Copies of this chain bind each other. A is one copy, B any other.
Amino acid sequence: MVAIDLHTMAVFTAVEFSGVAAGALAGALEARQSRAYHYDFIGVLGLAMITALGGGITRDVLLGKGPPLAFLDVRYLLISLGAGCLALLGMGRAQRFVVRAVWLADAASLGLFTVAGISRALNAGLTMLPALLLGLITAAGGGSLRDVLMGRTPRIFERGEPYTLAALLAAVVFLGLERMGVDRTISTLAGCAAALALKLLSQRFQWKTPVVSAMRDRQ
């Protein structure tokens, strides 16, 4: 039993850190593909780290219980910095493969980030609704911060891939199973699987969130 638990923990840790690395790579690629700005290496590394860690840091700042986890466990900084440096070197012919790997690692970790954010908020004594919100912020906050730092609106707010919807699904599955008294390892796995499934399906069938119909300004 303990062995299984340890095993699951190790899997979770691996998924989480691959998600951090994927976030950093995604942020660095975004910076290198920017048409509006000419980023130097500080910009690429900065946007890489903010994409990877911004969600968790925002969650911890909002929880108000001392320094963010990313400043206490140095692996977060090292992994995001390392992935950012890799992206600085460029990827030549591997780029297409890296982009695909980043997408997959991001999809696999999306649910885990959400669930981790919710757990942390519940442990800090918050109720379900704010905890759910902090779960979404953990998952989507890093990319959104990067978007704002690149002078644009967060992409998750716009018509497109149902990213936040997948995080929301993970949150609902996790919180529902928690309420039913299911073991936390299993509810976490189920939440992750649900988000991953929605991401894969939406990629396969090109599902996009609908635009809210524009409103004319009749003021």
Residue in chain B with minimal CB distance to A130 = B71
Q: Does A179 contact B (CB under 8 A)?
A: no
A37 and B67 contacting across the interface, CB-CB below 8 Å: no
Complex CA gap A90/B154 in Å reads: 23
Interface centre among A29, A78, A214, by most chain B C-beta atoms within 10 angstroms, is A214
A67 and B61 contacting across the interface, CB-CB below 8 Å: no
Given contacts A43-B158, A64-B61, A215-B29, contact A153 B37 (CB under 8 A): yes
A153 and B215 contacting across the interface, CB-CB below 8 Å: no
Query: Binary interface profile of A, 140-152, with partner B (CB < 8 Å = 1, else 0)?
Result: 0000100011111
Which residues of B lie under 8 Å from residue A3 when comparing CB positions? none
Query: Binary interface profile of A, 63-79, with partner B (CB < 8 Å = 1, else 0)?
Result: 11111101110100110
A97 to chain B, nearest CB (A): 11
B31 and A212 contacting across the interface, CB-CB below 8 Å: yes
A62 to chain B, nearest CB (A): 7
Query: Binary interface profile of A, 45-67, with partner B (CB < 8 Å = 1, else 0)?
Result: 01100000000010011111111
B78 and A129 contacting across the interface, CB-CB below 8 Å: yes
Complex CA gap A182/B129 in Å reads: 39
**The 6 A-B residue pairs with the shortest CB-CB distance in the complex, in nearest-first order:** A43-B157, A71-B130, A40-B209, A32-B215, A64-B66, A38-B211
Can you list 19 A-B pairs with a CB-CB distance of less than 8 A?
Answer: A29-B215, A32-B212, A32-B214, A36-B153, A37-B153, A37-B158, A38-B211, A40-B159, A42-B157, A46-B156, A64-B67, A65-B66, A67-B130, A71-B130, A72-B126, A148-B149, A148-B151, A149-B154, A151-B153
